[in-house]
């Protein structure tokens, strides 16, 4: 069952641009029907530009894609650098519910929830990670090209290990 996190938080930066997450977190076994993403419309101080945005349900995937639900998506220093605009790579801008935004997150564990008609080698329930940088993993549900995903072996990794495996590409 998908664990959802509800939180009140604040991101605070220090003079040395370290980020401190302040707040409380709780989990729930209740599945939410709302799709949400942590987004930013412009680069800058994460405490000022990051926000949570709800977005419309996504349609069935195109033939070469799969719809995935992210189970865990970590926050790494490089993710913060991307939001600040000092990291060499940037996410692609996308449209969520009529607004052009960037979705944060470079790595995370996703579960395949729907498979496009031409996709081979992936099925509903498979765990995958992105083999492509700046995927926008801080979202609940996304359509991604199957060729950009790496299928993980069933039952061999914990959720936490799987979600962070792409931080060290040599582990793949």
Place 168 in a pLDDT band, splitting at 50, 70 and 90: low
Angstrom CA distances, 31 to 21, 61, 69, 135, 162, stand at: 25, 21, 12, 23, 22
Place 89 in a pLDDT band, splitting at 50, 70 and 90: confident
Residues labelled as active-site residues: 87
Q: What is the mean pLDDT of residues 109-128?
A: 98
* Beta-carbon contacts of residue 125 (< 8 Å; ≥ 6 apart): 111, 112
Answer whether residue 115 shows pLDDT above 90: yes
Angstrom CA distances, 30 to 26, 34, 37, 39, 171, stand at: 12, 12, 18, 23, 33
Place 55 in a pLDDT band, splitting at 50, 70 and 90: very high
Which CATH class name applies to 4-171?
alpha beta
Query: What local confidence, expressed as pLDDT, does residue 90 receive?
Result: 85
Phi, psi at 36, each rounded to 5°: -135, 155
Q: What is the mean pLDDT of residues 52-78?
A: 96
> Between these two residues, 32 and 20, which has the higher pLDDT value?
32
160: tokens are: 């936490």
Residue 162's nearest CA partner among 68, 65, 39, 21 is 68
Contact 142, 63 (CB under 8 A): no
C-alpha–C-alpha distance, residues 79 and 119, integer Å: 30
pTM across the whole model: 0.78
C-alpha–C-alpha distance, residues 109 and 159, integer Å: 7
Query: What local confidence, expressed as pLDDT, does residue 11 receive?
Result: 41
Q: What is the mean pLDDT of residues 21-50?
A: 74
Query: What local confidence, expressed as pLDDT, does residue 113 receive?
Result: 98
Query: What local confidence, expressed as pLDDT, does residue 34 receive?
Result: 83
């Amino acid at each position: 069952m998908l664990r959802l996190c509800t939180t009140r938080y604040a991101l605070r930066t220090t003079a040395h641009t370290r980020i401190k997450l302040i707040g409380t977190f709780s989990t729930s076994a209740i599945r939410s029907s709302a799709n949400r993403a942590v987004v930013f419309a412009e680069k800058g101080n994460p405490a000022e530009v990051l926000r949570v945005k709800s977005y419309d349900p996504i349609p069935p995937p195109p033939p070469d894609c799969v719809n995935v639900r992210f189970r865990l998506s970590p926050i790494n220093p490089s993710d913060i650098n991307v939001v600040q605009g000092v990291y060499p790579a940037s996410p692609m801008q996308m449209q969520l519910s009529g607004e052009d935004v960037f979705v944060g997150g470079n790595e995370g564990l996703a579960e395949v929830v729907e498979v496009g008609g031409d996709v081979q080698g992936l099925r509903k329930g498979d765990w995958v990670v992105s083999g492509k940088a700046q995927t926008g993993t801080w979202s609940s549900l996304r359509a991604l090209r199957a060729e950009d995903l790496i299928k993980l072996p069933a039952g061999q990794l914990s959720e936490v290990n799987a979600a962070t495996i792409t931080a060290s590409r040599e582990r793949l």
